[in-house]
Amino acid sequence: MDNFSSALLTIDLNIIKSNYQRLRDQLGGKDCAAVVKADAYGLGIKPVSKTLWESGARTFFVALPEEGIELRQILPDADIHVLVGVMPETEEIYLQHELVPVLNSLEQIERWGHRGRCDLHIDTGMTRLGLAPKDISKVPATLDVDILMSHFACADEKDHLLNNEQIAAFQNACHAIAHKRASLANSSGIFLNEDAQFDLGRPGCALYGINPTPDQANPMGNPVRLQGKIVQVHEIDTQHSVGYGATHALQAGQKLATIALGYADGYLRSLSSSGVVYVDEAPAPVVGRVSMDLITIDVTDIEAREGQLVDVIGPHNPPDQIAKQAGTIGYEILTSLGRRYKRIYKG
Ligand SMILES: *Cc1c(COP(=O)(O)O)cnc(C)c1O
């Protein structure tokens, strides 16, 4: 898209590269896969996956077979695994595109039959996907399991009791079922301890700059910068209100700037009167409600002019911080990033 008034989204691929390296270091000698579901968490599956491949990643996870098919076009030699499971009449899709299904139930094991290499997900406490531990004894010995996996529910809370319970349950599964590689740790799991790491880390969010250790400083770099354009500046001379619902009162002497970006672009409506945008180095709070295509910020003591770019996401307000302002998590900020932005990939 040409950029006349739209926002600029810059993704620094070198930072994604160094984040991958940082996760490798954390894993010691163990292997590190890359989770690129949901368009690589909103950052663009094509450039991001190519960057991760160049960084040395060979094993990739997506959520859906559709995503696997897309990734196969981008990385013809990658080892691609699909998390959602094998639904009826989709078995051949996996073979056609050389995708490895993660089987989640006895029904899926039966459906997959003798089609060859697959993964097996054991539910160790998340109760979302995966085979119940009581059914482990029913897994046929002939099943060709590449990755035996499970998923943490609370790895971002270092001291949560469920973490060790899940590690123990997964160790039991590893003893009971023949497999080539064992994988339990998402981004946060990689930072828990060595027992959580097994053979293969499975990070997503940390690759994209979300803090995997929320109670400590972020060890990852933020690759995302989103710059919105000021399309009007208002000098307030009498008492007024701003935006839909007239939720925010203004005083004479205040100055507002209107930015061309809104909830249709993934700037969540819950950031109404709580988001903060940076004009150069100065914080400018969002005042009033977020509209579909526009937000208004208070620039009373800040120099601001039409056409100027401001940091909606950037070094001073990374996705995790915006998530706090919006009452959500950084994952949702990234996966909500809009389609109207002009996207620039650095590196
Ligand atoms: C999304 C996902 C991951 C990656 O999790 P992050 O917290 O983003 O690192 C790993 N494993 C499974 C099964 C997932 O669904």
Q: Indicate which CATH number applies to the domain containing 195.
A: 3.20.20.10
| Residues lower than pLDDT 70 in the chain | 1-2
Give nearest CA residue, ligand 1 atom 12. 151
Among 175, 208, 241, give the residue marking a domain's end.
208
241 and 280: one domain?
Answer: yes
The CA-based angle 310-297-340, given to 5 degrees, is 55
245 and 160: one domain?
Answer: no
239 and 320: one domain?
Answer: yes
Task: Give 156 Cα–ligand 1 centroid separation in angstroms.
Answer: 12
247 and 341: one domain?
Answer: yes
The size of the chain, in residues, is 347
**Is 330's C-beta closer than 6 angstroms to any atom of ligand 1?**
no
Residue 244 annotated to the active site = yes
* Per-residue pLDDT, 241: 87
* Per-residue pLDDT, 246: 86
Among 208, 241, 263, give the residue marking a domain's end.
208
* Per-residue pLDDT, 243: 87
The strand ranges marked E within the chain are: 8-12, 31-32, 34-35, 59-62, 79-82, 99-103, 118-121, 145-149, 181-183, 200-201, 224-235, 240-242, 248-250, 255-259, 276-279, 282-285, 295-298, 309-313, 342-346
Q: Are 193 and 207 in contact (CB under 8 A)?
A: no
- Given 37, 94, 255, 341, which residue is catalytic? 37
Closest CA to 85 of 107, 69, 57, 115: 107
- 288 falls within a domain: yes
Q: Which of 83, 122, 208 to mutate to test the pocket of ligand 1 (most atoms within 8 A of CB)?
A: 83
Number of domains in the chain: 2
Cα separation, 12 vs 17, whole angstroms: 9
Task: Give 302 Cα–ligand 1 centroid separation in angstroms.
Answer: 41
Among 208, 235, 250, give the residue marking a domain's end.
208
241 and 133: one domain?
Answer: no
Task: Give 222 Cα–ligand 1 centroid separation in angstroms.
Answer: 18
187 and 228: one domain?
Answer: no
**Is 202's C-beta closer than 6 angstroms to any atom of ligand 1?**
yes
Give the tens place of pLDDT for each residue, 124-140: 999 999 999 999 999 99
- 213 falls within a domain: no
- 68 falls within a domain: yes
- 119 falls within a domain: yes
Query: pTM for the complete prediction?
Result: 0.97
Give the tens place of pLDDT for each residue, 201-228: 999 999 999 999 999 999 999 999 999 9
* Per-residue pLDDT, 242: 87
**How many Cβ atoms from other residues are within 10 Å of residue 291's Cβ?**
18
- 94 falls within a domain: yes
Cα separation, 273 vs 199, whole angstroms: 46
- 21 falls within a domain: no
- 267 falls within a domain: yes
**Is 166's C-beta closer than 6 angstroms to any atom of ligand 1?**
no
Domain extent at residue 301: 224-346
Residue 94 annotated to the active site = no
Query: Given the CA of residue 205, which atom of ligand 1 is nearest to it?
Result: 8
Query: Given the CA of residue 155, which atom of ligand 1 is nearest to it?
Result: 7
